[in-house]
Amino acid sequence: MKPTTLIIAIAIVTASIGTPSLAGDRPHEQDQPKTTKTRSASGYDHGMQVVANNAAPNTPGYGWRYFTDPVARRAVVISPQGDYYYSRGKGLQWIAAEQSES
């Protein structure tokens, strides 16, 4: 699969996941309730929920893992190679890659 095709497929999946949360009118920032931290002392983030990915082998999206926190309006996507992408509703941003063993 060409890298361009994979990037387009990821963008389509991301857009379809994020579109419902962006639809409709939102109140101004000062009117929004403050979110509380949901991360425990162990580092586990209880606000994140797994998004099902039923992509079959050899199809776009296969091996990708998706997580979202609808209350905090954020998402994490992990590639099969271990790259982490983070979004606060304005597109994915690359955060980190899997550490290679030296």
Cβ atoms of residues 83 and 96 within 8 Å: yes
What is the model's pTM? Answer: 0.53
Mean pLDDT in order along the chain per 10 residues (102 residues)? 72 68 54 52 76 92 92 90 90 82 64
**Is 26 within the bounds of a domain?**
no
**Is 63 within the bounds of a domain?**
yes
Q: Which of 9, 69, 73, 12 is nearest to 45 (CA)?
A: 69
Could you tell me the residue range of the domain that residue 57 belongs to? Answer: 1-21+46-102
Q: How many domains does the chain have?
A: 1
**Is 12 within the bounds of a domain?**
yes
